[in-house]
Structure 1
Amino acid sequence: MKKSQLLLSMGLAAALFALSSCAGGRSDVNLDATVKEAGKATADKNETVCAALDFSDEQEKTFAEKGLIAAPETLELKDKNGKVVWSQKAYAFVENAEAPDTVNPSLWRNTQLNHLYGLFEVTDGIYQVRGYDMTNITFIRGNAGWIVFDPLMSTECSAAAMQLVNESLGERPVTAVVMSHPHVDHYGGIKGIISEEEVISRAIPIIVPEGFEEHAVSENVYAGNAMGRRAGYQYGTFLDKSATGSLSIGIGMGQSTGTVSYISPNDTIKQTGETRTIDGVTMEFQLTPGTEAPVEMNTWFADKKALWIAENCTGTLHNLYTLRGAQIRDGNAWAEYIMEALTRYGKDAEVVFQSHNWPHWGNDVISSYLKNTAAMYKFINDQTLMYINQGYTSDEISNMITLPESLEKNWYTRQYYGTVAHNAKAVYQKYMGWYDANPVNLNPLTPSDSAKKYVEYMGDTNEVLKKAKADFDRGEYQWVAEITNVLVFADPDNKDARFLCADALEQLGYQAESGTWRNAYLSGARELREGTTTDAAFKANSSADLKKSMTPEMMMDYMGILTDSNAAQNLNLKINLNFTDTDPYLLCVDSGVLLYQKGVQANDADATLTLPRVAMFAILNKDEDQQKNAIKIEGDQDILKKLTEHMVTFEYFFNIVEP
């Protein structure tokens, strides 16, 4: 497709986009498993969004379209087995003019903008492929090749993006890779653009902020099973792409489900102001720890007056706490590092570009963009602390706090990904923890136990459902979801409770401006109607690359996580680990608790294991054949059986909206 044809096509889409409107409607309460239309309360609430926001302000749309070079007519990527791992084709329905009642019109607009995919020029020598995964992949032209920033989540996606660049701009080798932070959507596709053999043979720098690998492992391995399952709710991976299903999440269309890879970095940035000149391109790095990730960095291209702001600015409100689970982020530090970037580079910057969404051009625009984004995180941090010091609890604060009107009006500070409500809870968690100081909540019953007592006290379940139906008709969807979920946890076979809870969650999803909230609500509704999802096709094809990079300490920490210490409380072991390729360790199991010491060996050990570091995976995976082939045991020959006897296997598709 020629560029002129693309622009003409985009012009038509823009004309349709400008006609977007909201309509009214409602449906009755039918307690069955069908997907429902928007109720009157939902239609009315979405209508108020049309009146409250300036849909004639098209600066963000102009920036989203700017610099388009090439794009395929349709985009749908598959893995080697034919599974669709990424699709823009599935979102073709958003090209229609009208925002339906089942979608918050602000989120509909954001979805239309995220549906603008292809290869774009940011400025001379800097290009991005956007809309090929949740993340952007960026190509900086050097003298001989490409310096690639954040190579997406899946290898299938990054390989397709690289192919588009090669076809449009000419084939050039990768001369360096920069990974701004250790979230999987910023490194998982690296083997789609380069191999480990090439990195070694051509001495290709892989540049990261200090602490990158440690945090990549701690987030994606230690709690990886639970995060992966919860990410399915956040990203709507098992929802249909439709006006009653999954839309954009503010930082892209969602999560690709292709092959995740990893190559260990070989060049670490340790302080702000460090520079690298690679392939004729000079880069200055600014470390921003504790912001969107535990370690992260921005990059300044002085020759091009271009600031790569990583994921510290994203054209939307981001997360101080992400729904899939992660360490709490520091809103105050986030604001300070953005302001530091403004101080260091703001007076010269002519373009700011980032790992999600589109760039922003013009020095005045950039100054406002950085300041307003910083103000958003600073406001949530400070206002929450003000309320905390007045004695308000987390739930109270989340229902009280709203952004100032000046920030509410900016399209790039809208709540498409994070929300003010759950980010305020993150600030509460950071400073005060889970406890609200009410001793009633020190050690509450489990949800199932408390639900059974609620039902016992309420008496007639049918009467509760009758009242809940009436509240549903009045549009009190949050309360209906809460009370019917109590009934579900008391009796998961109560179909009327499941269906009414699903209907209430569905309406909340239709109202949500946040794509992640919409996905979570609709995913809960689907599982209440159909049961917990168990289709492995909804999981990413995670490779062993990240685990292979784990240090002995990380592997022993993970072994401790896998061990059911209560079941193993009578187990006491002392094992010398004599690694052939790294330092020795003493591994102890004391009353079922796994501990270790580096550089220590015990004369009274139950056994001594001689093994290469990677053979630890044979222990973690309980692979007896590999253990026999790779590990030499002196002493107790049954030591590995004893060590692994109480190691559990994690079930990925655990229940969320039911016990």
Structure 2
Amino acid sequence: MRLLNTLAILTGAALALAHSPAVSQEAGSHFDPKGKMPSPQTVKIIEQLRGSLPFEDERDFEEAQRGFIAAPDYRQIMAEAGNVAWDMASYDWLLQGQDFDSIHPSLQRQAVLNMAYGLYEVLPGKIYQVRGFDLANITFVKGDTGWIVFDPLTAKETAAAALQLVNEQLGEFPVVAVVYSHSHADHFGGVRGVVDEADVSSGDVPVIAPVGFMDHAVSENIYAGNAMNRRMFMQYGVLLPRSPFGHVDQSIGKNTAAGNLGLIAPTVIIKDDFEEMTVDGVRMIFQNTPGTEAPAEMNTYFPDLKAFWAAENITGTIHNIYTLRGALVRDALEWSKQINVALYRFGQEAEVMFSAHTWPRFGNERIQEVMRAQRDTYGHLNNGVLHLANQGVTINEIHNVYKVPESLQHQWAARSYHGSVEHNSRAVVNRYLGYWDANPATLIPLSPDDSAPLYVEMMGGAEPIIAKGRELYEAGEYKLAQEILNKLVYAEPTNQEAKDLLADVFEQIGYQQESPSVRNSFLAGAYELRNGIPAGATPNSAGPDIVRGMGTALWLDFLGVRLDSEKAGDREFTINLVTPDTDEEFVVELSNGALTNIAGFQAENADLTITIARADLVDVMMGTASMDEQIEAGKAALDGDANVLEELKGMLVQFDLGFEILPGTGGADLTPDMNPFRQPPPADTSGG
């Protein structure tokens, strides 16, 4: 496999998660004392893949190197909090010229390509990117007087470092505008590292975003945010060291920065399907693409430069139709159609295509090739899956039946790194038909820990299951092994021998995966089965700017999610909430164990009326002040039965991040106690 012979100038970029105990490992040693080397069956599969994939096509390596200007002399970027926000060196083992039998060779190829680190010229004198400073790229477009910044990364610290590098290498110019391509955190979270909010508020620096940006940037991961953050342990391998046996890559970049995530609200909203705008002498045509990679997203075309910015709609990988940390299922057909619109609207003349992740493509023929490959892969995913579903193939079968056409399998731009063919195909069925396979036996199934003891009893107990599991493991029948061992682990959560054997099975399945999201999920499952959840292992989540950006109605909605209906019982009450500085009024009503709210109304006979300025309510939401402290300070006024407020406090549950996913892994208390009305930070949407 020829991964490294064209990478002379690509240096290692990596993430050292501040919340993770992970460190990079020596390439030959497993980080876990219980960890296993790739089995003979896994090695055979890896070797077959090396011989079947189109490694002779090295154009991506050439394009990834093109335009390199400079890399900084430092290897780490520190966060303001004192932790390491970004560590380049922890993935350097990928650049040592070794092929690893514990990594799918296609994934290793992508992981090496994502090692690009430094400043790159995309279009001479006009467009530049800093890559390898975060999960996403940050792009600098030179206007008449300064920089137009596209997608300022996840963290203030990494974005500021990128701007400093650009100014050192290209001359110091002010930032004259910021463009958010879409509503995921790795594309706006570092905005405070490139622009001062006062300059935005004064109108000196416009912040441009697609319609719906603020709603989705804040709300997309509120309702199930705690569960999403916990599931990030799986998809992003939060606990896995950077190692050939652990975290290798995140497909669209190495991983996300562990720094200060912020948000400055956009001041210019792109509302139409296409809008043309000139900013600092640069003419741009924005294409709104809602319902693709994000609910609010837009491409940008530079007609005078023949340059097409593909946001996160076209990258070096097929993306998630269903993202494993959790999100609404996306529309593969709409995604395909929007790429087609871009192809015919801009792709006929574009000479460079660049995006928020990976590397640019150069030359019109090459651009059209990549656009068509991705258009057709999403289109076939939708149509091919539905073709099979209409013949009776169910959600529980589709991932073993649906195949990507051979012609697409041999195009690197159509490989499924961020998504996987398996979980994306199931997502399409779920989008149109839901989770049920139409077999009544699966409509209201027992919970796994209720059904598992019967399976174990019928199989003769733990001893024969473990014996058969070892036999299947030795034979390389890992998916059969996980079927029976998973049942045993649910039936006997304290059976460490069973958990260790299931971990061994998960590990071999993980080694064989092309998608790092799927790989990480299996390897993270193995880690937790072997070691449990370490105390203090919490992923970086969204910062106070996100909570500040929440609408009052959204905050009230989440209080309804946090309400413990059993504690509420048959209690009923009505609260009027008034925020006079924003002229908002709400009725909050508890009845039938449900806490509901409606905006624009006041109840005539409310049990309690709370009057508080929205600015002071934000302090409560952010946890910088409690509601009691605001009342005591005269910033909140109560009219009516104050006991109602005390009752509501007692009904609200604080969700803990450390809940158990796999049986017997010892759910840990990872979330500190906080004021009852404080809004927990939403989940991190980085990566989409």
> Which residues in structure 2 correspond to 1:51-62 (within 5 Å)?
51-62=51-62
2:220 is paired with a residue whose SS is: helix
In 1: Cα distance, 2:161 partner to 2:311 partner: 22
Shift of 1:10: 4.2
Deviations 1:493-517 (A, max 9, x none): 1011110111111111111111111
Residue equivalent to 1:546: 546
**Per-residue CA distance 1:460-494 (angstroms, 9 max, x = gap):** 20111001001000001122223222212112210
1:509-528 → structure 2 map (5 Å cutoff): 509-528=510-529
Residues 149-158 or 197-206, more deviating: 197-206
Instruction: Tell me what 1:4 maps to.
Output: none
Cα distance in 2, alignment partners of residues 74 and 111 from structure 1: 21
Report the Cα distance in structure 2 between the residues aligned to 1:321 and 1:588, rounded to whole angstroms.
Answer: 35
Aligned residues of 1:250 and 1:514 also touching (Cα < 8 A): yes
Aligned to 1:450: 451
Alignment of 1:234-633 (within 5 A): 234-536=235-537, 538-540=538-540, 542-582=542-582, 583-617=584-618, 623-629=627-633, 630-633=635-638
> Structure 1: which 5+ residue stretches go unaligned?
1-6, 15-25
Per-residue CA shift, 1:565-601, capped at 9, x if unaligned? Answer: 3431322111111211222222211223122222222
- Whole-Å separation in 1 of the counterparts to 2:641 and 2:572: 13
For 2:49 and 2:199, the matched residues in 1 are separated by 52
Cα pair distance change 1:13/1:356, threshold 3 Å: closer
- Tell me, in whole angstroms, the C-alpha distance in 1 between the residues paired with 2:593 and 2:617: 19
SS of alignment partner, residue 416 of structure 1: coil
Q: What residue number does 2:8 align with?
A: 11
Distance in 1 (CA, whole Å) between partners of 2:254 and 2:38 is 22
Q: Could you state the TM-score of these two structures normalised by the residue count of structure 1?
A: 0.93
Q: Which is helix-richer, 1 or 2?
A: 1
Deviation (angstroms), 1:424:
0.6
Structure 2 residue matching 1:274: 3-state secondary structure: strand
Q: In structure 1, what is the equivalent of residue 644 of structure 2?
A: 639
Which residue type is aligned with residue 329 of structure 1? Answer: R
- 1:577–1:610 contact (8 Å) kept in structure 2: yes
What count of residue pairs does the alignment treat as equivalent? 638
Deviation at 1:139, TM superposition (A): 0.7
Is 1:651 the counterpart of 2:652? The answer is no
Q: Give the 3-state SS of the residue equivalent to 1:86 in structure 2.
A: strand
Q: Partner residue of 2:37?
A: 37
Distance between the aligned counterparts of 2:620 and 2:54, measured in 1? 59
Q: Distance in 1 between matches of 2:462 and 2:627?
A: 50
User: Cα gap change, 1:627/1:385 in structure 2, threshold over 3 Å: closer, same or farther?
Assistant: farther
Q: Which stretch of the first structure deviates more once superposed, 218-227 or 461-470?
A: 218-227
Give the counterpart letter for 2:251 in structure 1: G
- Counterpart of 2:76 in structure 1 is 76
Q: CA RMSD in A?
A: 2.1
Contact 2:570 2:593 (C-alpha < 8 Å) held by counterparts: yes
Map 1:85-100 onto structure 2 (within 5 A).
85-100=85-100
Distance in 2 of aligned mates of 1:254 and 1:228: 15
617 and 573 in structure 1: CA distance in 2 versus 1, 3 angstrom threshold: farther
Give the CA deviation at 1:625: 2.0
Aligned mates of 2:93, 2:74 — CA distance in 1: 13
Larger mean CA deviation between 104-113 and 333-342 belongs to 104-113
User: What residue ranges of structure 2 are gaps of 5+ in the alignment?
Assistant: 12-27, 665-688
Residue 526 of structure 1: how far off its partner (Å): 0.6
In 2, Cα distance between equivalents of 1:627 and 1:280: 52
Q: Deviations over 1:264-300 (max 9, x none)?
A: 1121111122122111112111111111111211001
Q: Distance in 1 between matches of 2:617 and 2:493?
A: 41
CA distance in structure 2 between the partners assigned to 1:458 and 1:596 by the alignment:
51
Name the CA distance, whole Å, in 2 between partners of 1:271 and 1:89. 44
Which amino acid in the other structure matches residue 279 of structure 1? D
| Deviation of 1:459 (Å) | 2.4
Partner of 1:134: 135
Higher mean displacement: 578-587 or 407-416:
578-587
* Matched position secondary structure for 2:176: strand
How far is the alpha carbon of 1:618 from its aligned partner?
6.0
CA distance in 1, matches of 2:6, 2:631: 59
Q: 1:13 to 1:183 in 2, by over 3 A?
A: closer
Offset at residue 8 of structure 1 (A): 12
Structure 1 residue 375 displacement after superposition: 0.1
C-alpha contact 1:33 1:530 (8 A) present in aligned 2: no
SS in 2 for 1:352: strand
1:384 touches 1:428 (CA, 8 Å); kept in 2?
A: yes
In 2, Cα distance between the equivalents of 1:488 and 1:84?
37
**Distance in 2, Cα, partners of 1:515 & 1:212:** 28
Opposite residue 635 of structure 1, the aligned amino acid is G
Contact 2:138/2:151 (8 A) holds in 1: yes
Distance 2:158 2:361 in 1: 25
Structure 2 Cα separation of the partners of residues 603 and 12 of structure 1: 71
1:600 and 1:277 map into 2 onto residues whose CA distance is 42
**Cα offset for 1:72?**
2.4
Give the AA of the match of 1:570.
D
Percent identity of equivalent pairs: 43
Q: 8 Å contact 1:619–1:627 — kept in the other structure? A: no
Query: Residue 221 of structure 2: SS of its match in structure 1?
Result: helix
